[in-house]
Chain A
Amino acid sequence: MQTWSLVSICVLLAIIARWGVSLNSYSGAGKPPMFGDYEAQRHWQEVTYNLPIQEWYFNTTNNDLNYWGLDYPPLTAYHSWICAYIAKTINPEWVELHKSRGYESTQHKLFMRTTVLVADLLIYIPAVVLYCLYLTDGSSKKKVSIMFCFLLYPGLILIDYGHFQYNGVSLGFALWGILALGLGWDVLGSMAFSLALNYKQMELYHALPFFCYLLGKCIKTGLMGRGLFLLVRIGVTVLATFALCWLPFLAEPSQAMQVVRRIFPVARGLFEDKVANTWCSLNTLIKIKSILSGDSQLYLSLACTLLAVLPSCIRLLTKPTFWHFKLALVNSSLAFFLFSFQVHEKSILLAALPACLLLNDLPLMALWFLQASTFSMLPLFLKDGLLVPYIVTSLGFLFFSIYLLSALDHCSEDKLRLGAYNKLFYWLPKIDLAFIVRWKFYISIAAMVGLSIATAVLIPPPHLPDLFPVLVSTTAFLHFLGTFIHFNVVQFSEPPSRKSQKKSN
């Protein structure tokens, strides 16, 4: 069969899976007074459509920032504004100022779901298809298999189409950036990534690897010659893209400052809810929030994040290859997720995207991490009534990624890139690390399944109401920490030689 038909079947399946999930409930459905992210997005449409652009980020009589005030960068606001125009032509009630608060109907749900699908079809899905076709090695069947698993990653589908958000847009732009960088179009890549940053500030998780890769490349080509020229071109492109996105807010400095304040709410705590990062997990042992003041929490997290990001970024700076770039993206986003300030459980998607890029090179590790990342959001899915789609998509992803990528078939030490561990622990007797890894994988999957069932079915003891969410987040944290360490080790070991890859295919 031709590749095009396989690709189109994959994409159609991905669409069906997305739409199948979107038939389910969304966050905050029928839960006044605050509702959830769905209402937040609808409210942004209402605000951007009805108010002048100068009022979008300000607390005014018509714009109550305490009720889902706009706290994403301008590109999100423009997107809401476009959606609002379409909504207005279909049914003006959907975006009517003040009166439309908490508006819910079947038609409106259909409209909102469609906007997500359209954005995905325009930005995320083409980027995935092109990435898999052009930047992965192997036969066309292998490429399509990778694409299939990439497109069916459950976390993103469940958050965007179940919970309701537009992560596909920012992640899609970032992926376009990665794609362009992989193909050698550095200027276009940096433009795409600037767009991603301007859509969602969380894309900062990926910013350092982008910066280090491009800078490293410039240095390598010679900072005095062509490298400098490239650096200037990239710098100008980034500045121009930013300026274009922020144009309406640049007239007055106070405007721009307000947007920045809204985007980075440092006043919020170190963490909220139960998130699978270091601070929340540490909290079960030490109550950090009560020991440290707000400012020192901020500095502590900043310092830890920088320390965690530094090794992989320096490595990338000295060896600016695409392989190191991909690894640095995972490491940097995981470092941010584990150590930075005010992390949401959904931010793990930022680490999941680069992990998907590694599905071809390190299938077992990548899919293991991806599965854990979906699992870490389980309490959220349960709250939104997405248990059935969670089970279906997770089982499907686990089964097909193992089957199509033959992840468990040949996991020798070499394949898993465990060679570095043997060097690290040279004083220990030689053991079969691949065997241990495989068993760890089985045990971890069993633990995730067990905890999922327990969380969904069992009622926690009255004195420990948060027992299961804490267990889930701690388990997920251990997985993330393990992945973080492993991918750092892999980045510091020898890069895969082309030859051995050719042989294995």
Chain B
Amino acid sequence: MAADSCSWFPALAVGVSLLKCFFISAYRSTDFEVHRNWLAITHSLPVSRWYYENTSEWTLDYPPLFAWFELGLSQVARRFDANMLQVENLNYASPATVLFQRLSVIVTDVVFIYAARECCRCVREPKGSRDVLSRPSFVLAVLLLWNFGLLVVDHIHFQYNGFLFGFLLLSVAKHLQSQHLQGALLFTFLLNLKHIFLYVAPAYGVYLLRNYCFAEDNKDGSVRWSSFSPLRLLALGAIVTSVCALSFGPFIAMGQLPQVLSRLFPFKRGLCHAYWAPNIWALYNVLDKSLAVLGVRLKLLEEAELPRASMTGGLVQEFEHSVLPSVTPAITLVCTLLSILPAVASIWLRPHGAQGFLRCLLLCALGCFMFGWHVHEKAILIAILPLSILAVESREDAGIFLILTTTGHYSLFPLLFTPAELPIKVALMLMFTIFSFTALRKLHSAQGSLLHPLEVIYLLGLVAVAIACEVVFPLSPWQQRLPFLPLLVTSVYCAVGVCYAFLRLYASLLLRREEKPKQL
């Protein structure tokens, strides 16, 4: 084996790309049709109609840059099967269409592979030649490239997250390499591709302002107001506005901005997605439900008075809580802002370099995930992927990473509910989990164990949950009466782990000792 050269990186990339090709004929969710429809819309309609078209229920609800991206893809799609580019061909999925769409995800993942390469370059290599398999850069490459969540969500469920996360990781890597303008440019591109990355925008904004626009710190690490550089602020502003102009410009010119924004932010959807993401609201819902049941039992509440709605009814819908106050978008917004405020304030006061920024980015992502309105379970990847970088560097973060990835990844299980995909998701998850546990333990073997025994017991509990939900439940009589029970159990159990990881990550940011200035 080539021990010292970096020949292992292409091997990992080729391996995972081939692995993705195995899933071409696997189950695909409605997101497949969503993206086919967008291809059709962008290809066959004039730009002015893009955000008004509603033949299909899956209207275009990503920012304009993504629509331009789809337009580019459609030029290639034409050569595979032109029929997929007709808006009226709803649910069209010829073999050529499937092949094209799947391959488009696999090929655009090149951005992600490049970004992973850049991230691996940012990792400090310890002195002394060690086994390839226990080098931080190798471990990081595997954790990123072979990430269970991305494989499942992109290549089976079907989305273009790999391509998008490529931009995110690349911009993070640029910040780690102190190339702030490039990082900002990439992130603005990303925001205009998919607006869910607004989750982490506060971290970017504050960090760039603090670390880039203010060139110097005082001796004690606080901001030196006199070092403010208007030129730098101007450069940042120019980058952001020019990219946004490129993306939204045509729509502003046509006076369609309100329509575009109404498509991008559909607040008519419910508090929780069809399947609850493992966040605070999942716990809140369960608390409400159990209080209601308890109230009825104790004759404190009248069953007839309770609002009737099944919370995991399958469709995106609004529902009212029975006992606890109902949650409105405004409340979630306030909660989210409150949850990320300390993190943002902390990097303003004590930046801790790019490491601190990365930590703040993670907390923003997790804060929005925990308290946001209509959060998808897939959004957990925004936290998991950047956390991989920290995990290979410090023991503390490796422990958090193991808890967050294991619960976060497990919470993606209900996405693939078809029996044919069961062996794949179980094997993929096991593979990733075994690798992350053994590799990170080896990496930090000098500093003791990564997890507290209680944490280990909690994670082992996931196995019991998995067996109960995937094997026992489908065979039991409850399958008919309580079809949503496994989803509920999964999201509640995982919510506990995600909350815990969130708190521990917060603690690691706020309680950092001052004498450890991390410079990258």
Contacts and interface: CB of A to CB of B under 8 A. Distances in A.
A and B held together in a complex: yes
Contacts of B15: 396, 399-400
A271 interface: no
Contact of B424 (A16, A395, A399): A16
A403 B7 CA distance: 9
Interface stretch (B201-209, B360-368, B431-439): B431-439
Interface in A414-447: none
Interface stretch (A1-9, A168-176, A287-295): A1-9
A442 to B, nearest CB: 19
Given A13-B431, A23-B420, A388 B1 contact: no
Contacts of B26: 20, 23
Nearest to A145: B1
Interface in B1-51: 1-2, 7, 11, 14-15, 18-19, 21-26
Nearest to B24: A388
B25 A23 contact: yes
A396 B424 contact: no
A16 B435 contact: no
Given A110-B419, A406-B1, A5 B427 contact: no
B430 interface: yes
Given A2-B438, A9-B431, A16 B420 contact: no
Interface string A364-389: 00000000000000000000000011
B391 to A, nearest CB: 16
Contact of B22 (A16, A106, A110): A16
A110 B422 CA distance: 11
A410 interface: no
B11 A400 contact: yes
Given A110-B419, A406-B1, A1 B22 contact: no
Contacts of B23: 20, 23
B427 A21 contact: no
> What DSSP secondary structure best describes chain A's contact surface?
helix
A388 B428 contact: no
A284 to B, nearest CB: 34
B1 A110 contact: no
B442 interface: yes
B280 to A, nearest CB: 34
A2 B442 CA distance: 9
B430 A12 contact: yes
A303 interface: no
Contacts of B434: 5, 8-9, 12
B18 A1 contact: no
Given A1-B442, A24-B25, A141 B431 contact: no
B18 A395 contact: yes
A392 interface: yes
A404 interface: yes
Contacts of A12: 427-428, 430-431, 434
Interface string B347-384: 00000000000000000000000000000000000000
A17 interface: yes
B258 interface: no
Contacts of A5: 434-435, 437-438
Given A117-B423, A404-B1, A16 B438 contact: no
Contacts of B24: 388
Contacts of B420: 23, 106, 110
A148 to B, nearest CB: 10
A15 interface: yes
B118 to A, nearest CB: 23
Q: Classify the secondary structure of B's interface with A.
A: helix
A103 interface: no
Nearest to A117: B423
Contacts of A8: 430-431, 434
A8 B431 CA distance: 8
Given A12-B431, A400-B15, A21 B22 contact: yes
A350 to B, nearest CB: 26
Contact of A17 (B22, B25, B99): B22
A249 interface: no
A275 to B, nearest CB: 28
Nearest to A17: B22
A15 B426 CA distance: 10
Given A396-B18, A403-B11, A16 B428 contact: yes
Interface in B416-459: 419-420, 423-424, 427-428, 430-431, 434-435, 437-439, 442
Contacts of B131: 1
B133 A1 contact: yes
B134 interface: yes
A501 to B, nearest CB: 17
Interface in B377-407: none
Contacts of A399: 11, 14-15, 18
A24 to B, nearest CB: 5
Interface string A25-57: 000000000000000000000000000000000
Interface in A130-165: 141, 145
A106 B418 CA distance: 11
Nearest to A6: B133
Which of A17, A19, A400 counts the most B-chain CB atoms under 10 A from its CB? A19
A392 B438 contact: no
A19 B430 CA distance: 15
Given A23-B26, A110-B419, A16 B19 contact: yes
Nearest to A403: B11
Contacts of A16: 19, 22, 423-424, 427-428, 431
A1 B438 contact: yes
Contacts of A141: 1, 133
A36 B310 CA distance: 47
A15 B1 contact: no
Interface string A85-109: 0000000000000000000001000
Contacts of A406: 1-2
Nearest to A142: B1
Contact of A389 (B11, B19, B22, B424): B22
A19 B424 contact: yes
**From B7, B131, B427, B435, residue with most partner A Cβ within 10 Å:** B427
Nearest to A405: B1
Nearest to B142: A9
B30 to A, nearest CB: 19
A400 B133 CA distance: 16
Contacts of B439: 1
Contact of B18 (A6, A21, A117, A392): A392
Contacts of A117: 423
A15 B424 CA distance: 8
A406 B428 CA distance: 27
Contacts of A404: 1
Indicate the member of B21, B26, B439 with the most A CB atoms within 10 Å.
Answer: B21
A13 B427 CA distance: 8
A388 B430 contact: no
Contacts of B14: 399
Nearest to A396: B18
B11 A15 contact: no
A20 B156 CA distance: 11
B438 A15 contact: no
A268 to B, nearest CB: 35
Contact of B427 (A15, A389, A395): A15
16 contacts: A1-B438, A8-B430, A9-B431, A12-B428, A15-B423, A16-B423, A16-B424, A20-B424, A23-B25, A106-B420, A117-B423, A141-B133, A388-B99, A389-B22, A400-B11, A403-B7
Sort A-B residue pairs by CB-CB distance and give the 5 closest, nearest first: A20-B22, A5-B438, A12-B431, A392-B21, A396-B18
Given A1-B438, A392-B22, A399-B11, 14 more contacts: A8-B434, A16-B22, A17-B22, A19-B424, A20-B22, A21-B22, A24-B25, A145-B1, A388-B21, A388-B99, A389-B22, A391-B21, A392-B21, A403-B11
Interface of B: 1-2, 7, 11, 14-15, 18-19, 21-26, 99, 131, 133-134, 419-420, 423-424, 427-428, 430-431, 434-435, 437-439, 442
